[in-house]
Structure 1
Amino acid sequence: MNRDVESLPEKEEVIYEEHASGMMRGLSVEDAEFLANFPLEKHKKLIHKVDWRMIPFLTILYLITYIDKTNIGNAKIEGLTTDLHLSGIQYNVALSIFFIPYVIAEVPSNMIMNKIKHPGKYLGALIVVWGIIMTLTGIVRNFAGLTVVRFFLGLFEAGFLPGAILLVSNWYMPNETQTRIAILYTSAASGGAFSGILAYGIAKMEGLAGLGGWQWIFIIEGIFTVLLGIICYLFLVESPALSTGWLDADEIRYLELRQLSRRAHLASSMRVIIPTKKHIIDVLTDWKMVLLIFVNWSQAVPNYALKFTMPQIIKNMGFTSANAQLLTIPPYTCGAISSYVFSVIADRKSWRMPFILVPQMCVIIAFAILFVKAADIKNNIALCYFAVCLSCFGMYPILPGVNAWNVSNIVSPAKRAISIGYLIAMGNAGGIIGSYIYIDKEAPRYPTGFGTSFAFAAAGIVAGLILEYALWTINKKNAKITEEEVREKYSDEQLERLGERSPLFKYTL
């Protein structure tokens, strides 16, 4: 095999070795030789080319997705609740109504995207539609109008994140995914920071054309979303086979073969791309998904709750609305940095759990501080603000870790598409819970908000440790059985149909 080991960092060398020599079953001799002899330096340059062509674009798109999802929190302190005469729990209802279609639509959306030829155009169309809806949010006049636009915003925005992760998983191998998902997800943390700056600037348009500052926040950000959606429709990468304009024939063949090598050992019925009812049942009855959902909730519930309320929490410290918008920047910056750093290390170690557990512990500490000290927040500004920063530092690495853990242990592309959508959908169900746990009349202590966030983080730690131990136990048990013994007990067809449950399959921890 043509290799120059010194030309690649250790991480990429390991990845290359796994692809080039360890996953050849089921490929033709010619394809296996091509994959094994693909030059190492060319592999490195190709992955970097894909990175630069795909990841920055997806990151910008997820940035705008995040802003459009959470800018209602910025609009609140700029007069939304006053102008729309929202009383009692109506603001919380407006928050939660977004997540009902959001959760329901994510799995069907990924099933559609996995089936169609042009996934990039599909995502672009979704973005254009929700950008129009976002613009319309700026002209609603009452609670009923707000709930309607929030419902349809959730419906059309639902497909982006699971679709983006599916796109990443179709271009990269398992031990390359978490870093890429983290880069994508850091835009969520960056989006929180950018959203504050943007809201601060747009709110200065108060009174222009007779509209309030909160209205201009939705209108300006909605127009920008529509423009990005059009660009996405025209230029987002879709699949190697449809990338002849920037990849040569050998590069396309290599990218396609290494994906085929992931599932070459599966039965023909499991190689299908189009999801079926069986794939849905497999995902819904998978015990590992239950544990992953609880791990995901350790960030989803406190994260959604905090992002909708952070400007208000900081305002409770005694800052003006304008300064509260700006002071949301450092916490989200902490989240962006930690998400990337933890994910790079996790990919290098090919080990997920420790780099989920440590952030979860940070979340526990952060909300413990807030639960105890927020009652007297004006006399504990520094400590409480530190806790807000620490909570973001802990929450943002969890989602990339959970999703990488999921996709690395599912080989079937159809099942993977459904599992990505399902895991994200159930995580976003946490947004429904998070919409109600910060109650205005409990300010500034927010015992329900801080206490519930603490509880979900603790439950996620328990679930993650159980999953890690269970997968380690299964791998240890399977390692004691030789391949010859396995093949004496099972036919090739039985092994293929077992998929991840095969004694020959090794789970990623």
Structure 2
Amino acid sequence: MLASTSLLSSSSTTRTSDDRNAPTMSTSEVKKAVSEFEDIEHQQPELVGNAGDEEFGGTEERKKLEKKLLRKLDLRLSILIFIYILNYIDRNNASAARLRGFEDDLHLKGQQFNTLLSILYVGYILMQVPSNMLLNYMGRPSIYLPCCMMVWGMISCLTGITTNFVGALMTRFFLGFVEAAFFPGALFLLSKWYKRSELGVRTAVLSCGSLISNAFGSLVASGILDGMEGKLGHAAWRWLFFIEGALTIFVAACAIFVLPDFPSTSHGWLSPLEVRLAEQRMVEDVGISDENADAAQTSQVAGLRMAITDWKVWCLALALTSMVVSLSFNAFFPTLSATMGYSRTDTLLLCAPPWGFATLVAFAVTRHSDKAGERFWHIAIPLVFGIVGFVIAASTMNTAARYVSLFLMAQSYAAFITFLAWVSNSIPRPPAKRAVALAFINAFSQLGNVAGSYVWPTGWGPSYRYSYAICIATNGFCIVMCYVFKLHLQRINKRFEKKEQEEGLPKGYRYLL
């Protein structure tokens, strides 16, 4: 292990404070670094400089300090939930506006509304990887993320003044371009502070912002669309964009004073001992600190190349893309709810309970996944229940059965959330590679949203049998890909076990399956 660490250090120049002046790595060096980091992830305790509990006043004092640290972290990072709620509301409010004249006022025809939905993901895909690379380089998420949020809030407001398809198309494109900074950046921020056994629940807490937004957003949209028609001469759907965009800007201003930075750049709200504990926790969890891991690479560009040459990243990206296609019903949830034949207001209100149920299921599944230290089955089982929901919806027009199917579809988001935690667990180091991998996998998966925008054409309604058939197929493909990935991680863990037995080493890092 010492030899491998030394070899990696000699193959690259230690990173300086000005990362941009560092030499680049050749393709062979990148592939070698990827292989070496797989060993570093399996570091033994004596190689990471574990200071023990004495540094923190003994075992009991450390436990108290750790609980205090986690409470502080959870309180500050809880604002990410509100940001994510607004992120999704601003992204999906076009679907609610569609019920109150959005298409008619903008003179949309044919597939133009679907194009407005899909164009957002073009900008979203293009910006995620560069954004996370910039975030890792800056080390100041408390400034970077809220500033991006303010910009997308202003763009959302501008959507309310558009008068034609081209204007709406431009605002939707740039909305996705700026919103791209938030979700991969938030996942990377969580991975900087929480251990593997803590990450699933925290990812669920973050991701449940999207589930809550589907419930809460429908209720807010219902109130605005019913109460603001004709106010100051504007249609109600325009007020939807004005009000929700202004709320986003306000929360962004508050977030600047609440969001934490990374452990190595956090000051003021943590004591020096708490900062040291935060860093030590991550060393003990993975085997090497983020700072030491970053020293083994030469630049953010090297992190990019290490990520895109690792086949695990591509496997996860394909699996998530397939899952996202099956989850495309989310953007058309009001439309699917409307097939039950209720009024516009009742349709929006009926959207809330399934997403409330999905939130509870997601918390339960991710919490159990963390405790059990298992990921695959906690992904596969919710997807299977989602398939059951698609089958029910495709096979009957019975109102009660179709409403039950909406609950089963919505709960499949528990698999999506658990999957995100699996990504962070499976690519822990170096941070520059992890930042790119999280962004790349999430960005690549948005191709599923682009395709999903065309999976639900009006001509296939109200039964949408073909749409549900596509979702069943993509869900099944995702399960197969996840199983293949699980088998690969099993082989790596067995290799670790064999090495420990041959060299008489204590148990080191293990991938969660």
Structure 1 length normalisation: TM-score?
0.86
1:294 maps to 2:315: no
| Aligned partner (choices 101, 113, 119) of residue 97 of structure 1 | 119
CA distance in 2, matches of 1:221, 1:190: 15
Report how far residue 504 of structure 1 moved: 6.7
1:408 maps to 2:447: no
Amino acid corresponding to residue 92 of structure 2 in structure 1: T
Give the structure 1 partner of residue 386 of structure 2.
363
Which segment drifts farther, 257-266 or 125-134?
257-266
Q: Give the match's secondary structure for 2:270.
A: coil
Q: How does 1:83-482 map to 2 (within 5 A)?
A: 83-203=105-225, 204-261=227-284, 262=286, 264=288, 270-271=294-295, 275-303=299-327, 305-373=328-396, 377=397, 380-394=398-412, 396-409=413-426, 410-482=428-500
Report how far residue 263 of structure 1 moved: 5.1
Give the structure 2 partner of residue 499 of structure 1.
none
Give the structure 2 partner of residue 12 of structure 1.
none
Deviations 1:11-70 (A, max 9, x none): xxxxxxxxxxx964444475785378562232223212211222x211111111111111
Question: Is the alpha carbon distance of 1:324 and 1:426 closer, same or farther for their aligned partners in structure 2, counting shifts above 3 Å?
Answer: same
Amino acid corresponding to residue 400 of structure 1 in structure 2: I
CA distance in 1, matches of 2:282, 2:294: 14
Q: Give the match's secondary structure for 2:257.
A: helix
Question: Is the alpha carbon distance of 1:87 and 1:192 closer, same or farther for their aligned partners in structure 2, counting shifts above 3 Å?
Answer: same
Question: Is the alpha carbon distance of 1:362 and 1:275 closer, same or farther for their aligned partners in structure 2, counting shifts above 3 Å?
Answer: farther
| Aligned partner (choices 500, 508, 511) of residue 507 of structure 1 | 511
CA distance in 2, matches of 1:265, 1:282: 18
CA distance in 2, matches of 1:117, 1:477: 35
Report how far residue 295 of structure 1 moved: 3.1
1:41 maps to 2:64: yes
Check conservation: 1:127, 1:225, Cα contact below 8 A.
yes
Question: Is the alpha carbon distance of 1:298 and 1:365 closer, same or farther for their aligned partners in structure 2, counting shifts above 3 Å?
Answer: farther
CA distance in 2, matches of 1:285, 1:264: 22
Check conservation: 1:98, 1:154, Cα contact below 8 A.
yes
Q: Give the match's secondary structure for 1:236.
A: coil
Deviations 1:266-306 (A, max 9, x none): 99675458853332222223222233223323431232x21
CA distance in 2, matches of 1:136, 1:109: 23
| Aligned partner (choices 50, 53, 70) of residue 92 of structure 2 | 70
CA distance in 1, matches of 2:71, 2:360: 21
Amino acid corresponding to residue 245 of structure 1 in structure 2: G
Which segment drifts farther, 340-349 or 310-319?
310-319
Report how far residue 400 of structure 1 moved: 2.1
Q: Give the match's secondary structure for 1:322.
A: helix
Q: Give the match's secondary structure for 1:247.
A: coil
Deviations 1:110-162 (A, max 9, x none): 00001103211100100000000000101100000110000000000001000
Check conservation: 1:350, 1:508, Cα contact below 8 A.
yes
CA distance in 1, matches of 2:297, 2:277: 19
Count the aligned residue pairs: 465
Check conservation: 1:272, 1:413, Cα contact below 8 A.
no
| Aligned partner (choices 48, 53, 57) of residue 76 of structure 2 | 53
Unmatched tracts of structure 1, length 5 or more: 1-21, 488-502
CA distance in 2, matches of 1:339, 1:453: 20
Which segment drifts farther, 96-105 or 255-264?
255-264
Check conservation: 1:439, 1:448, Cα contact below 8 A.
no
Amino acid corresponding to residue 280 of structure 1 in structure 2: L
Which segment drifts farther, 137-146 or 34-43?
34-43
Amino acid corresponding to residue 281 of structure 2 in structure 1: R
Check conservation: 2:303, 2:436, Cα contact below 8 A.
yes
Amino acid corresponding to residue 508 of structure 1 in structure 2: L
Q: Which runs of 4+ in 1 moved over 6 A?
A: none
Check conservation: 1:298, 1:360, Cα contact below 8 A.
no
Unmatched tracts of structure 2, length 5 or more: 1-42
CA distance in 1, matches of 2:117, 2:508: 46
Question: Is the alpha carbon distance of 1:269 and 1:386 closer, same or farther for their aligned partners in structure 2, counting shifts above 3 Å?
Answer: closer
Amino acid corresponding to residue 144 of structure 2 in structure 1: Y
Structure 2 length normalisation: TM-score?
0.85
Check conservation: 2:152, 2:178, Cα contact below 8 A.
yes
CA distance in 2, matches of 1:100, 1:408: 28
Deviations 1:316-344 (A, max 9, x none): 21111111111100111121111111000
CA distance in 2, matches of 1:258, 1:508: 18
